[in-house]
Amino acid sequence: MAISGRVERFHASAEQGEQIVRFLSYALILGAVTMSCAASVQADLSASPFGVVETSADDATRLEMPKLEFAETPEDAKNYDKYYFFRRDETDFATAYADISECDGYARGLVSSYQYQDPPYPYAGTLAGAAGGMIANAMMAAIFVPGEKRRMRRVNMRQCMGFKGYERLGLSKDLWEAFNFEEGTGVEEEESRTRALKLQALVASTAPATEKVLPR
Distance between CA atoms of residues 160 and 104, nearest Å: 9
Q: Would you write out the chain's pLDDT as a tens digit for each of its 216 residues?
A: 444 544 455 445 545 555 554 554 445 444 443 444 444 433 444 467 767 777 776 888 899 999 999 999 999 999 999 999 999 999 999 999 999 999 999 888 655 444 444 545 454 445 444 444 455 444 544 444 566 888 888 999 999 999 999 999 999 999 999 999 988 667 788 999 999 999 999 999 999 999 899 998
Question: Would you state the pLDDT for residue 143?
Answer: 46
In the DSSP assignment, the letter for residue 70 is -
Q: Residue 35 in 3-state DSSP?
A: helix
- Are 216 and 168 contacting, i.e. CB atoms less than 8 angstroms apart? yes
pTM: 0.65
Please tell me the predicted confidence (pLDDT) of residue 112: 45
Number of Cα atoms under 13 Å in the Cβ half of residue 193: 14
Domain boundaries, the chain: 1-47, 60-214
The amino acid that residue 165 corresponds to is G
Tell me if 179 sits within 8 A of 196, measured CB to CB. Answer: yes
101 three-class SS: helix
The DSSP bridge pattern shows strands 167-170 and 84-87 to be antiparallel
Give a three-class secondary structure readout of 146-214: HHHHHHHHHHHHHHHHHHCCCEEEECCHHHHCCCCCCCCCCCCCHHHHHHHHHHHHHHHHHCCCCCCEE
Predicted local confidence at residue 77, as pLDDT: 95
Per-residue confidence (pLDDT) for residue 37, from 0 to 100: 42
Reported as half-sphere exposure (CB side, CA atoms, 13 A), residue 103 has a value of 25
* pLDDT for the residue 150: 82
C-alpha R_g of the chain? 30
